[in-house]
Homo-oligomer: A and B are copies of this chain.
């Protein structure tokens, strides 16, 4: 294995056109140990044409991800990597590129202008390159953290995978600017908690909730709504597992799917199959919002914990289900039919506990607002000790999954559990959250009476001219964590918002430090008041300080309307005396073993 210096290469080789690349089997011996049963349990198509297909596996012991990238129609090379939010600038990349002499594989990064540079530290390690009739398979690995400031830190939560195609051979790697390439992104949960799968009960039965041979619309984004129903007299069961069914050939089009149960208030729900934003859609479908199952691209089956199941069927449960399928069709392919959906595994032998869903975070109220032009403004909602003391059982609850939710400006979400004023664990954290990738994730935590659950969302409002207030509208914001847990309790909603009296004091303060601008008269609404704040540094900082100091109103509710008994206004902010430390990423000890330059792939030569 040679390690040429890039500058020598650069001098020695010239542009060639239309180079046919003959890549030769087995460049470096397979290193590391991928698990025996299925070396790459996770799969995802990267581009809508299906040219690039990623499979991967995670070794938690080695803190390393093993990637297998299938490149179906290789031209002059490909880029693959990760970036903060899916941009091709400031991305951490591996590049397979060719010049007239051969093909190379190297760890690289792109700067803020998209210019690609070879990394001084080669942390993507090529394990095998194999030419097959299907295409070129590249097998490589990378540690979660590398301690290279140009590298992406692989964390729990959303990862924005990026890719690009090189159409022509290159003089050198430095000749690449990502802005000139055909590129794209794919969001995925790369790290999956390795929790043993509970065995399914012997009497497990299945039910498929599938799209009825839908003609996928020739438009980029479609949310398809389909209403179906449980058999008449279907008794109470427990869902214990579910898995996706994706119609073959549509793997790159089916982005995510959810099954909702409708509200029990309605005796019947009209049948429907069509786009969710259709004018023909019956109004009653808006009352089908109780999640039974949620899947997104890259996820596998979801198993309930052994002791619990999600109840459906029987009295007090609607017979009507709504399937929602998000078709992501950026190439506007037409004429494609789809019957994707979700297969529910359920049992009549009810498990010990019903699973429940609880809403944590911020109440839907305009008193919580984000100034415009903020790059990372944090709002925090609390589930206080007083509420958990009252509403949780003495033995506490077990959280086993969580789904984060914001509207368009949300970029990070985290829920932390605090006990006796000390943060003790992360319930769920996503440092690269996207509202376009709201997946249900396994997340294990136990909450006891008196615990505090703190949910913080980080927003980017750089493209907004006015303050963004809390609320239901798509241009308003939310900060929610839907926590799945057992045993089910009556607590449906444990959220907070700043005390309105203190917000009123804030508006009066703004007027005193600036020329009178905000109407503090009784008829002015909070959104109107926020809209008239002059957003100088002082008003921004003081709003931040207010949210970190002022008392809160608690929503500690049985259902969205009924509060638990007690005084919930003007509650003190929970006091946190000790924060969880950010884990320092491990620098891989084996750095000295990794090559200092790119790996040469070419053995058979590649002149065209």
Indicate if the CB atoms of A589 and B541 lie closer than 8 Å. Answer: no
Which one, B513, B541, B592, B596, contacts A541 given CB within 8 A?
B541
Indicate if the CB atoms of B589 and A596 lie closer than 8 Å. Answer: yes
Nearest CB of chain B from residue A312's CB, rounded to whole Å: 46
Contact string against B for A residues 17-44, beta-carbon threshold 8 Å, 1 for contact and 0 otherwise? 0000000000000000000000000000
Indicate if the CB atoms of A587 and B505 lie closer than 8 Å. Answer: no
Chain B neighbourhood of A544, CB < 8 A: 541
Nearest CB of chain B from residue A120's CB, rounded to whole Å: 4
Q: Does A545 contact B (CB under 8 A)?
A: yes
In the assembly, what is the distance between CA of A584 and CA of B149, in Å? 8
Q: Does A16 contact B (CB under 8 A)?
A: no
In the assembly, what is the distance between CA of A380 and CA of B591, in Å? 42
Contact string against B for A residues 564-608, beta-carbon threshold 8 Å, 1 for contact and 0 otherwise? 000000000000000000001101111111111000000000000
Which one, B509, B540, B549, B594, contacts A512 given CB within 8 A?
B509
In the assembly, what is the distance between CA of A301 and CA of B544, in Å? 50
Q: Does A332 contact B (CB under 8 A)?
A: no
Nearest CB of chain B from residue A148's CB, rounded to whole Å: 6
In the assembly, what is the distance between CA of A368 and CA of B505, in Å? 25
Q: Does A536 contact B (CB under 8 A)?
A: yes
In the assembly, what is the distance between CA of A148 and CA of B589, in Å? 11
Q: Does A538 contact B (CB under 8 A)?
A: yes
Chain B neighbourhood of A590, CB < 8 A: 596
* A508 and chain B: residue at smallest CB distance: B512
Chain B neighbourhood of A509, CB < 8 A: 509, 512-513
In the assembly, what is the distance between CA of A540 and CA of B120, in Å? 43
Q: Does A189 contact B (CB under 8 A)?
A: no
Indicate if the CB atoms of B596 and A592 lie closer than 8 Å. Answer: yes
Contact string against B for A residues 102-142, beta-carbon threshold 8 Å, 1 for contact and 0 otherwise? 00000000000000000011000000000000000000000
Indicate if the CB atoms of B592 and A594 lie closer than 8 Å. Answer: yes
Name the residue among A121, A537, A546, A590 with the largest chain B CB count within 10 angstroms.
Answer: A121
Interface residues of A in 528-574 (CB under 8 A from B): 536-538, 540-542, 544-546, 548-550
Chain B neighbourhood of A181, CB < 8 A: none
Q: Does A519 contact B (CB under 8 A)?
A: no
In the assembly, what is the distance between CA of A282 and CA of B591, in Å? 64
Q: Does A147 contact B (CB under 8 A)?
A: yes
* A538 and chain B: residue at smallest CB distance: B549
* A146 and chain B: residue at smallest CB distance: B147
Chain B neighbourhood of A147, CB < 8 A: 121, 147-149
Indicate if the CB atoms of A587 and B120 lie closer than 8 Å. Answer: yes
Contact A591 to B121, CB < 8 A, known contacts A149-B147, A512-B509: yes
Chain B neighbourhood of A549, CB < 8 A: 513, 536-538, 541
* A596 and chain B: residue at smallest CB distance: B592
Indicate if the CB atoms of A541 and B548 lie closer than 8 Å. Answer: yes
In the assembly, what is the distance between CA of A549 and CA of B542, in Å? 11
Nearest CB of chain B from residue A537's CB, rounded to whole Å: 5
Nearest CB of chain B from residue A387's CB, rounded to whole Å: 23
Q: 20 interchain pairs (CB within 8 A)? A: A120-B591, A147-B147, A148-B587, A149-B584, A509-B512, A536-B549, A537-B545, A537-B548, A537-B549, A538-B545, A538-B548, A538-B550, A541-B544, A541-B545, A542-B542, A542-B545, A590-B596, A591-B592, A592-B593, A593-B596
Q: Can you list the 9 inter-chain pairs with the closest CB atoms, starting with the nearest?
A: A541-B545, A538-B549, A592-B596, A120-B589, A538-B545, A537-B549, A120-B587, A537-B548, A542-B545
Known: A120-B588, A536-B549, A537-B545. 6 other contacts (CB 8 A): A121-B147, A148-B587, A537-B548, A542-B542, A591-B592, A592-B594
